[in-house]
Structure 1
Amino acid sequence: MFTERSGIIVWVNDLKAAGKQLEKYGNVHFISKKLHYAAMYVYTNRLDETVKQLQKLPFVKKVERSYRSEIKTEYNSNIPDKTRFYTL
């Protein structure tokens, strides 16, 4: 039902150009005026070609990929739960 998306960080020189032109490549989530970057989401199946196209833009310094989907988010705790000892 939902298509997979990946996050990327685009470091830019010109914020005005970034705000207008990055919308073509995916969903722009946030643009930092202080640190000059844009956080955006693109479709995972088109990630490589989108990154190559973004790197060719004249106002782009660097494009970084988010590794959040590859990080394990399920945690196991071998320590028993002691909350029942501290109840009133």
Structure 2
Amino acid sequence: MFTERTGIIVWVSDVKAAAKHLEKYGNVHFISKKLHYAAMYVYASRLDDTVKQLQKLPFVKKVERSYRNEIKTEYSSNMPDKTRFYTL
């Protein structure tokens, strides 16, 4: 039902040009005027092609991909609960 997306950070030299042109490559989530970067989501199946196209743009300094979807988010507690030792 949902298409798989991945996040990328695009470091730019011109924020106005980034705001205008990055919409055609994916969903722009946030643009930082102070730190000169844009956080955006692109389709995971077209990630490599999109990164290559973004790196060719004149106002783009660097493109970094997010590893958030590869981080384990389900935790198991193998340690016993110590809260009963600290209660009065």
For normalisation by structure 1, the TM-score amounts to 0.92
- Match of 1:56? 56
Q: How do 1:1-88 and structure 2 match up within 5 A?
A: 1-83=1-83
Equivalent position SS for 2:80: coil
Letter in 1 for 2:51: V
Identity of aligned residues (%): 88
The whole-number CA distance in structure 2 between the counterparts of 1:29 and 1:59 is: 18
Listed as ranges, the gaps of 5+ residues in structure 2 are none
| C-alpha deviation, 1:83, in angstroms | 4.4
The whole-number CA distance in structure 1 between the counterparts of 2:80 and 2:24 is: 51
The whole-number CA distance in structure 2 between the counterparts of 1:26 and 1:87 is: 52
Which 10-residue stretch deviates more, 72-81 or 8-17? 72-81
Letter in 2 for 1:3: T
| C-alpha deviation, 1:75, in angstroms | 1.2
| C-alpha deviation, 1:82, in angstroms | 4.0
Aligned residues: 88
What stretches of structure 1 move > 6 A for 4+ residues in a row?
Answer: 85-88
